[in-house]
Amino acid sequence: MSPILTRSRWLLEPALAVTFFVFWALTEAGRNQLLPSALRATVPFWAALLVLACAIGLSRLSPVAAMAAGTAVLIGQLLFPAGIFQNAAIYLGYAVIIVVVAATVHGRMRVVALAFAVGAGVSVAGLLSWAQGIGHTDAAIRVTFFVVCAGAAAFAWVIGTLIGVWMRTRWSEEELARTTAELRVAEVETMVAGERERIAQDVHDIMAHSLSVILAQADGARMLVDERPASVAPSLATIADTARASLTEVRVLIETLVGSPDGPVHPGVTDLDDLVERMSDAGLVISVERFGGAVELSAAQELAVYRIVQEGLTNALKHAGAGARARLALDEREDGIALSLASRPSVPRDAPPPNPAGRGLIGMRERARFAGGWLDAGEDEDQPGGYLVTAYIPATGRNAVTA
């Protein structure tokens, strides 16, 4: 339901009430004229019609007041028979009240609404039977008329109750969908924040060491500048090299600080062989191809390469199952390292559905981005049911090539 319709929903019943009153006022104006000589005979009719229209207008905003007004009309017509509607179709206004009230109330009030519906049906049957002589000569017709009116009122209550259940179910589904979407966004943001915190912890030791080296070299150069000027140049070169390497490792500003500065020793590119061996023992058939020679990567970049390969192989084993095949290609050049990890199941089947909010994929992309490179993952078009991960990590001091 659109926001405009939702905001203006409360106007429906009042508009229906106005339409109801105007229609029957125009229809009955000739029969019930408000002339000075006929006020005693016509005022009860107009009062009953007006109160019944008000009951329709209040049926959703105040169901109790609507039922009270509807009951008051029936009691008033019993006390003042001139107010009984000669046109029985006017009593269809009670069907509108019953449907709207039954759709609005819930819990024990549904029983009250049912009692009002049946009571209104029986009362209308009694008033019409009395005023129009329905069934006066045939008791079976009178009983049938009462049963029909009461049954019609109960049926209107059932219809209203079903509408209310449907509307509340739809509203609950919309709320659930909106809440689920908000939780999904919050979950993604939490995963990204957690991954950034872990990355900050990974590079913390390296940065602390680099800054310590810079500080020590700067203090040494300051003390030796007068006594041994020749020693200043090597110190300044060391400071420059250390600062350049540090700036490369923090390409983006790390805003989240970790609580503990002491982190474990992290794996790198040289540990990939052990990783491949462990994954092979788990049932994944892996072929590894290496091209080029050694590439100069920082500790954080080596960790990024290791974690990307680790996550890719884990996903291959998880989604493709035991006996699946994976091909890992590492192309190490002077400007950086490019990796390609293609996996496919042992038995051809459909690729797993993409999950943009997956923790592993987000972590892989974040690690590649924080290492100065890029990563792309998706279905392998060359292998039915396969999956392909490609990434590039630039060498220390170089910029990544846009994917």
* Res 254: pLDDT: 45
Look at residues 157, 179, 201 and tell me which one is the last residue of a structural domain: 179
Q: Is residue 254, in this structure, part of any structural domain at all?
A: no
State residue 348's pLDDT score. Answer: 62
pLDDT at 316: 79
Q: Per-residue pLDDT for 11 more than 90?
A: no
The most distant pair of C-alpha atoms in the chain lies apart, rounded to whole Å, by 134
Split at pLDDT 50, 70, 90, the class of 209 is very low
Residue 247 has pLDDT above 50, yes or no: yes
Write down the pTM of the prediction. 0.51
* Long-range pairs for 354-363: beta carbons < 8 A, 24 or more residues apart: 354/378, 354/379, 357/184, 357/187, 357/188, 357/191, 359/191, 360/311, 360/314, 360/315, 362/188, 362/191, 362/192, 362/195, 363/191, 363/195, 363/307, 363/311
**Which token pair is 87?**
């046109």
CB-based contacts of 167-176 (< 8 A; 24+ apart in sequence): 167/103, 168/106
User: Hunting for tokens 């080029």 — which residue is that?
Assistant: 292
Whole-number pLDDT of residue 162: 94
The pLDDT of residue 392 is: 93
Task: Round to whole Å and give the CA distance between 197 and 189.
Answer: 12
pLDDT at site 403: 44
Task: Share the mean pLDDT of the chain.
Answer: 80
Pair (34, 139) in one structural domain: yes
Helix (H) or strand (E) holding 151: helix 139-224
Q: Is 401 contained in some domain?
A: no
What's the pLDDT score for residue 109? Answer: 92
CATH number for the domain spanning 312: value is: 3.30.565.10
DSSP conformation class of 356: T
Kindly report, residue by residue over 95-117, the tens digit of the pLDDT.
999 999 999 998 889 999 999 99
CA distance 376 to 364: 9
Q: DSSP string covering 103-125, please?
A: HH--TTHHHHHHHHHHHHHHHHH
Do residues 320 and 349 lie in contact, with contact meaning Cβ atoms separated by under 8 Å?
Answer: no
pLDDT at position 69 is 94
Q: Are residues 292 and 157 in the same domain?
A: no
Closest by CA position to 9, among listed 178, 136, 170, 137: 170
Same domain, 139 and 273: no
Which pLDDT band, with edges at 50, 70 and 90, does 252 fall under? very low
Mean pLDDT of 232-259: 56
Domain with 295, as residue range(s), is 269-394
141 assigned to some structural domain: yes
Cα distances from 369 to residues 195, 205, 373, in angstroms, run 12, 20, 5
β-pairing, 285-292 vs 325-333, is parallel
CA-based nearest residue to 101, from 140, 144, 129, 63: 63
If asked whether residues 169 and 275 sit together in one domain, one would say no
pLDDT at res. 149 = 94
19 & 125 share domain: yes
Asked if residue 327 has pLDDT above 60, the reply is yes
Mean pLDDT confidence for 130-143 = 83
Hey, what long-range contacts does 239-242 have (CB within 8 A, 24 or more apart)? 239/213, 239/214, 242/210, 242/213, 242/214, 242/217
Two tokens, residue 30:
């000739």
Q: Quick check: is 258 in a domain? A: no
**Mean pLDDT of the 175-197 span:** 82
Q: Does the pLDDT value for residue 177 go beyond 70?
A: yes
- 39 and 153 housed in the same domain: yes
Selected residue with higher pLDDT from 278 and 199: 278
What DSSP string describes 15-49?
HHHHHHHHHHHHHHTTTS---GGGHHHHHHHHHHH
Amino acid at 328: L
C-alpha Rg value of the chain to the nearest Å? 40
Domain count of the fold of the chain: 2
Phi, psi dihedral angles at 227 (to 5 degrees): -80, -45
Position 3 scores a pLDDT of 54
Please tell me whether residues 287 and 149 are part of one structural domain: no
**Do residues 135 and 142 touch, judged by C-beta distance below 8 A?**
yes
CB count within 10 Å of CB 401 equals 12
Of 161, 179, 197, which one is at a domain's C-terminal end?
179
Decide which of 391 and 380 is more confident: 391
Long-range CB contacts (within 8 A, 24+) of 229-238: 238/213
282 and 162 inside one domain: no
d(CA 298, CA 203): 10
In this structure, of 35-49, 137-151, 188-202, the range with the lowest mean pLDDT score is 188-202
- The per-residue pLDDT for 251 is 46
Query: Of 133, 160, 179, which marks where a domain is finished?
Result: 179
Q: Among the ranges 98-107, 256-265, 280-289, 316-325, which has the highest mean pLDDT value?
A: 98-107
In a domain, 339, yes or no: yes
Tell me, yes or no, whether 236 lies in a domain: no
Q: Indicate whether 23 belongs to any domain.
A: yes
Give the 3-state secondary structure of residue 267: coil
Question: Is residue 294 situated within a structural domain?
Answer: yes
